[in-house]
């Protein structure tokens, strides 16, 4: 279902119960689609979710001459990059502001065409995610970059060359940029302090299937030996562990019981440990994970987000909603995005007791501690939440507001729900399937 309406009415107080399915990870699928640009033969990607980020990348690929069509199986895409071509600047610019993924087209387009154009970029406003570092990386590979009024124009007068790069922080986006550029660059690229999230490993699997030579060391170092040519790939995307955790938190906050088909234990172990400490229950089988509230009181916890294998920042916001129902004081220390706790002001309007702090309240100091950011929180619970008017600030914060509205007494009006389509496939249909009382004014759901 495509949702154009921007306001959702949520009638809270009903536990979410039933079964939903998560498909391929939002943080892998669009990047694997970009990787298809590097190949000399068609690629097949399975388990693709119907989300806005996928549609954006599909559009950008088609603008550059890549044929994209459905495969034989549901959720499969076949991408043929045989006739890659330059795209019209105005057409590319039409996608500007809807996603940050266009920045990852740079390396593949420089390899295929010798040039690339990147418009201004959007994405969720949860803290600084500077793109300057992406361009600096590309310069180190040998790209020439010219800043223009409508974006950045890049050229590769000669074949890009491997280089040594050390990330100041293990950024997922910067790691993806290096991988997608290094695989066809001449010589060896050594990336230190790389991100090692499961989605990064899955992207490496995709590139290896295409013919890339990539080695991962235990010290966050990735070495890429450039090759002259890559082929296509056939790959099934790993499931979205971030969406699975969001539904798990929804089960906890609403005192519900949700079976998340497709969820996998291995990539969620850190989350599952924390879920159990809070008092949530789960049961794992070969097809998915069942999450439920077992009754009784929930436990307050101390929680610190971190890069993988730590507690993921995208897990934090939905779980904080559940922690408003825990007994005692929970302490949250956000170390990945400096502005990610801003969403809690709306929870306070609903009756939560959440205080933000500039100090590092976790077990260690972090890079935000001396920079005046409200990046720690103390959640006092349990508190009864009341329906309210809510404006969605970002993707995970938006889903968290839905959880809060579903757990609250009374009716909430949630504005800006289209943003949730960026990363949650058919989320309204899933809410209805789980018994959530939601309605789009003037439309029938389910």
Report pTM: 0.94
Per-residue pLDDT tens digits for 261-281:
999 999 999 999 999 999 999
310 and 363 in contact (C-beta within 8 Å)?
no
Distance, CA of 280 to chain centre = 24
Per-residue pLDDT tens digits for 149-187:
878 899 999 999 999 999 999 999 999 999 999 999 999
Kindly state the tokens that stand for 277.
Answer: 């400490």
Spatial CB neighbours of 237, under 8 Å, sequence gap ≥ 6: 23, 24, 25, 28, 29, 32, 45, 46, 47, 48, 202
Query: DSSP state, 348?
Result: H
- pLDDT of 249 higher than 80: yes
Kindly state the tokens that stand for 60.
Answer: 């950008």
Feature table: binding site for phosphoenolpyruvate:
26-27
Per-residue pLDDT tens digits for 194-209:
999 999 999 999 999 9
Nearest CA-CA partner of 336 in 164, 54, 124, 122: 124
**In the beta sheet, which residues pair with residue 115?**
155
pLDDT of residue 279: 98
Percent of all residues in the chain with a pLDDT value above 70, rounded to a whole number = 95
Q: How far apart are CA 43 and CA 226, in angstroms?
A: 20
Number of C-beta neighbours around residue 388 at 10 A: 20
How much is the mean pLDDT over the chain?
93
pLDDT of residue 207: 98
Instruction: Give me the residue spans of the domains in the chain.
Output: 5-21+238-437, 26-234
pLDDT of residue 128: 46
136 and 106 in contact (C-beta within 8 Å)?
no
Feature table: binding site:
26-27, 100, 314, 336
Per-residue pLDDT tens digits for 60-118:
999 999 999 999 999 999 999 999 998 887 787 776 555 678 889 999 999 999 999 88
124 is catalytic: yes
**In the beta sheet, which residues pair with residue 10?**
412, 438
Spatial CB neighbours of 386, under 8 Å, sequence gap ≥ 6: 350, 351, 408, 409, 410
pLDDT band at 359 (very low <50, low <70, confident <90, very high): very high
- Mapping DSSP to helix (H, G, I), strand (E, B) and coil, where does residue 227 land? coil
| 262-272 residues labelled b (16+ CB within 10 A) or e (exposed) | bbbeebbebbb
Query: DSSP state, 267?
Result: G
Fold that domain 5-21+238-437 belongs to in CATH: UDP-n-acetylglucosamine1-carboxyvinyl-transferase; Chain (3.65.10)
Q: Which of 124, 205, 360, 366 is catalytic?
A: 124
Q: How far apart are CA 423 and CA 101, in angstroms?
A: 13
Is there a shared CATH topology between the 5-21+238-437 domain and the 26-234 domain?
yes
pLDDT of residue 130: 64
Fold that domain 26-234 belongs to in CATH: UDP-n-acetylglucosamine1-carboxyvinyl-transferase; Chain (3.65.10)
**In the beta sheet, which residues pair with residue 289?**
260, 284
Q: How far apart are CA 366 and CA 362, in angstroms?
A: 9
What is the chain's length?
Answer: 446
Per-residue pLDDT tens digits for 287-306:
999 999 999 999 999 999 99
- Mapping DSSP to helix (H, G, I), strand (E, B) and coil, where does residue 284 land? strand
pLDDT of residue 3: 40
- pLDDT of 251 higher than 90: yes
pLDDT of residue 5: 54
Feature table: binding site for UDP-N-acetyl-alpha-D-glucosamine:
100, 314, 336
- Mapping DSSP to helix (H, G, I), strand (E, B) and coil, where does residue 315 land? helix
């Amino acid at each position: 279902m495509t949702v154009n309406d921007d306001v959702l009415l949520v009638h809270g107080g009903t536990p979410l119960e039933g079964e939903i399915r998560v498909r391929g990870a939002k943080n892998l699928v669009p990047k694997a689609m970009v990787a298809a640009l590097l190949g000399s033969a068609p690629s097949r990607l399975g388990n693709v979710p119907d989300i806005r980020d996928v549609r954006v990348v599909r559009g950008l690929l088609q603008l550059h001459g890549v044929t994209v069509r459905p495969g034989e199986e549901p959720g499969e895409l076949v991408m043929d990059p045989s006739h890659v071509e330059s795209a019209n600047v105005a057409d590319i610019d039409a996608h500007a502001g809807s996603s940050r993924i266009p920045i990852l087209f740079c390396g593949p387009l420089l390899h295929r065409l010798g040039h690339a154009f990147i418009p201004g970029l959007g994405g969720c406003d949860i803290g600084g995610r500077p793109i300057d570092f992406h361009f600096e990386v590309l310069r180190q590979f040998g790209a020439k970059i010219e800043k223009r009024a409508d974006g950045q124009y890049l050229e590769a007068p000669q074949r890009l060359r491997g280089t040594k790069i050390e990330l100041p922080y293990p950024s997922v986006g910067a790691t993806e940029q290096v991988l997608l550029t290094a695989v066809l660059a001449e010589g060896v690229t050594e990336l230190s302090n790389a991100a090692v999230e499961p989605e990064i490993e899955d992207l490496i699997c995709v590139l290896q299937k295409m013919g890339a030579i990539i080695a991962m060391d235990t010290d966050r170092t990735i070495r890429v030996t450039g090759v002259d040519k890559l082929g296509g790939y056939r790959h099934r995307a790993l499931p979205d562990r971030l969406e699975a955790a969001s539904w798990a938190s929804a089960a906890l906050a609403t005192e519900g019981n949700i079976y998340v088909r497709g969820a996998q234990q291995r990539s969620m172990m850190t989350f599952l440990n924390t879920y159990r400490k809070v008092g949530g229950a789960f049961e794992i089988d070969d097809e998915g994970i069942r999450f439920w509230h077992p009754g009784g009181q929930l436990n307050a916890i101390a929680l610190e987000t971190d890069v993988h294998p730590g507690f993921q920042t995208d897990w934090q916001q939905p779980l904080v909603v559940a922690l408003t129902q825990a007994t005692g004081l929970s302490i949250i220390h956000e170390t990945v995005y400096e502005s990610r706790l801003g969403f809690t002001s709306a929870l306070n309007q609903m009756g939560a007791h959440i205080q933000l702090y500039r100090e590092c309240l976790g077990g260690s100091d972090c890079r935000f501690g001396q920079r005046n950011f409200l990046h720690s929180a103390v959640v006092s619970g349990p508190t009864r939440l009341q329906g309210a008017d809510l404006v969605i600030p970002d993707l995970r914060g938006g889903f968290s507001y839905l959880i809060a509205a579903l757990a609250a007494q009374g009716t909430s009006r949630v504005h800006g729900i289209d943003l949730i389509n960026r990363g949650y496939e058919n989320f309204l249909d899933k809410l209805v399937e789980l018994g959530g009382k939601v309605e789009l004014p003037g439309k029938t759901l389910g």
